[in-house]
Structure 1
Amino acid sequence: MDVVGQGGSAPAAALPVAPSGDGHGAVVGRSERKDGGTVTRRPGRAARVVRPDLEEVFRAAYPRVVAVAARVLGSRDEAEDVAQEVFLAFARSSVPAGEAAGWLSVAAAHTALNHLRTGRRRASREEAAEGAAEVCPDIADTVVARDERRRVRAALARLSRRQAVALVLRHSGLSYAEVAAALDLSPGSVGTVVRRAESALRKELNRHASSE
């Protein structure tokens, strides 16, 4: 599956940004509690307790979360937006830290697919990202490659959610064991699920290619 997307290290001191009352992002202020928890403070709002392991999990899992989202969206900037959503959801959850990696990977795939399926894309940002990533003397090759990536992402959005998520996780570098744990599958069934998803993706690509 040739969908562009690369992860990266977690930005220094870049914990999730919480939405402020006016709908814009507001950087979360933090102070420590005596019991080890963290209190977040937002402009014009009362303090709220955030799970104490958030920063540790964020720094460990951020590159993979961005990589998974970028596999779907083909844009590093959009993938980072998805990562913000996913880590905010994790901050409000009671998911054990030991299960965070799988939970976050699945959440990143689901959230990115939601963006893809509902059209919550930034076309100009995508064009800029693709243009910056490609240095090619032949404009025809550039156009063909870009069109192919768009076709793959569109076909991915038409797959069943289970197939799409399995395919994204596997092609984001997760091992069969990690995919199995993340999707609550038996390790022996992951290969079958992924192969069927790949077959379904090829059928979608061929079906729409023949109708164009």
Structure 2
Amino acid sequence: MDVEGVFRAEYGRAVAVLVRFLGDIDLAEEAVQDAFTTAVRSWPETGVPPSPAGWIITTARNRAVDRLRREAKRDERHAQAALLQAPDAPPEEGPVSDDRLRLIFTCCHPALALQARVALTLRLLGGLTTAQIARAFLVPEPTMAQRLVRAKAKIRNAGIPYRVPRDADLPERLTAVLAVVYLIFNQGYDGEAGLCEEAVRLGRLLAELMPDEPEAMGLLALMLLVESRRDARHGEHGDFVPLPEQDRDRWDRALIAEGQGLVRRCLRRNRPGPYQIQAAIQAVHSDAPTADATDWVQILQLYDQLMAIAPSPVVALNRAVAVAEVEGPRPALGLVDALDLDGYHVFHAVRADLLRRLGQDTEALRAYRAAIDLTEGPAERAFLRRRMATLTR
């Protein structure tokens, strides 16, 4: 594994360990980034160490100690540096034993705004850039940068402790924690598979930690059902394959069975929530042996339920796709045109497809160009270009 691979796999854990150890987000991030910079310089000559993650964490810890020593101007700073040299700090006790999950719950403190909690944790755990997080929230990059700075400052100034949350603190932080895990999964689904694996791992821990929370179970089911189609999303040459055109023999039936089983357990709880409903939608897709056999009426009913309890423009866009299959592209286009999602590439791609189906080729071409301009993934851009090319022949 090269430095880039170690970064993708271990950045979040390294930051989580250092934040718990140092009690300072900025110092932990800088120390881990310095450690990876050192790895870039040294590993090509010395080779990747037997335990890359341990090397990164140890190097980052030593860098942090050195920095505290250099900056020590008061006895308390000297004392802090001395404390950091202690070889074996006693482990924290509490319901959350996983470092990364602990950091998620810590950053999802109710003193922070919900979006700030999610954004900050994505930055720390996923190693996502500010630009990537801004795209996930559909906001400008400078806006997201300000949110991250304010969130770190509030944690520091308010003295929010870096500790394992008490059992009583877990439910009030669950909404933000689930949002973080799902955004990590989505980031991986669009690019790095390792992030999906990490999100599923965290989802399993959450479902085990909070067995009475059906939304935790629903999120795990949702991720498993979506992940079951990973191999079918790309063709032999890496080209993007949309859901209706996928080879369903390549879907992972074990993941589907596990996800559907979790959906059935959620239904028996009769406490529907956004993740459970989204998981149920994916379960309907996974039930269909062919694209033509998809029960779009049931999917539309589920989207109606989702809009009733968790309305958003993105949910409305996905509902419009279902409307197009049940009622036709024209009423769906009217719903899409009413949405304010001009900076979202999927909005333009859906709109382009509806216009194409209605024979409005000139408008469809403009929509495809807008979608291509906003799409980052090369496979998805190539797919949109192929669709656009069918209108220019």
Q: TM-score range by the shorter chain?
A: 0.3 to 0.5
* Structure with the bigger percentage of helix: 2
TM-score (norm. length: structure 2):
0.20
TM-score (norm. length: structure 1):
0.35
- Greater CA radius of gyration, 1 or 2? 2
* Structure with the bigger percentage of strand: 1
